Amino acid sequence: MNILSFEDMSKINYHISVVNALRQFWRINKSFSCLGKPKSVNLLLYLDGCSARYTDKSGKTVLAKSGDVIYTPTGCEYTVEFYDFMADSSNTVGVNFFLYDDKNAPFILSDGITVFPGDGGYKLLFSKINSASVRAVTDYAKMKAGMYEIMSMICEKSREKRFDRYSIISKGILYMESEGGENLSISEIAALCNVSEVYFRRLFKEYSGLSPSDYRLRHKIKR
C-alpha cells in the first residue's frame, strides 16, 4: 500500500472514510494486543489523562503521554500498555478510518507507530467525534469534519517542524510561495536569506524535492 507523509497528504485532494470512534477506560484492563492480528484500519488515538507504551512486532518501543495523538496504520501489529493514570476518568478516544488519495487509491501515513505531541488542541475535536459516534443515529458528517480538522492540524505541525530545519532560507521560501514570488531571481532570493545561491539551491532542493525554478513555476501554475 502506498505511504504518504502528513506533509505530502496536505498537497492532494484526499478523502477520509470513518468507520467508528470509541472512548475506552484502561484502569482495569491496562493493555491491548493485536500481535498476529494486523490492524485492518488506520487508527488515531488520543490519550486523555494517561500514558502509553507501544511495542511493535519487531520489539521497537514507542512512548506517548497524556495529550498526545498516536497513529497506527493498516497492517500494523503491536501491544500497548497504559499507565500513569491521572484520575478515575482517564481514558482514550480512538477513531478507526480509511484514507484514499485523489485517484481513490487507499494509502497509509507511515509503516509504523507515530506519536504526535499534544498541545491542548486535540481533546475537544476527539470528544466531538466520539459524541457524534455514540448518537442514536451516527453522525458521520460531524465525525468526518472532526477528522479533517485533526488531520489539518497534524499536517500543519508537521510542516512547521520541517520548516524549522530550514529556517535559514525561510524568507526565501515564503517569498517564493507568495503571489509575487517570481519577481526576484534565485540569486536575489538567496541574498535575501544571506546565503550563497549555490547553498540556497541545495538546501531548497532538500526542503521541497524540486529546484527553486521548478517549485516557483508549480506555484505560479496553481495560482
Q: Tens digits of per-residue pLDDT, 45-59?
A: 999 999 999 999 999
Place of cell 492532494: 12
- At 103 the pLDDT is 92
- At 162 the pLDDT is 65
- At 18 the pLDDT is 94
Q: What is the pLDDT of residues 121-160, one digit of tens each?
A: 899 999 999 999 999 899 999 999 999 999 988 887 776 6
- Binning pLDDT at 50, 70 and 90, where does residue 161 land? low
- At 81 the pLDDT is 97
- At 168 the pLDDT is 87
Range with the lowest mean pLDDT among 31-40, 49-58, 187-196? 187-196
- Find out whether 45 and 93 touch, Cβ atoms under 8 Å: yes
Work out the average pLDDT over 92-102.
96
**pLDDT value at 218 more than 90:** no
CA-based torsion, 42, 68, 129, 90: positive or negative: positive
**114 against 215, higher pLDDT:** 114
Angle at which helix 123-133 crosses helix 140-165, to 10 degrees, equals 160
**Distance in angstroms (rounded) separating the CA atoms of residues 10 and 19:** 21
Q: Chain-wide mean pLDDT for the chain?
A: 90
DSSP 55: E
Residues 6 or more apart whose Cβ sits within 8 Å of residue 78: 33, 34, 35, 54, 55, 56, 57, 72, 113
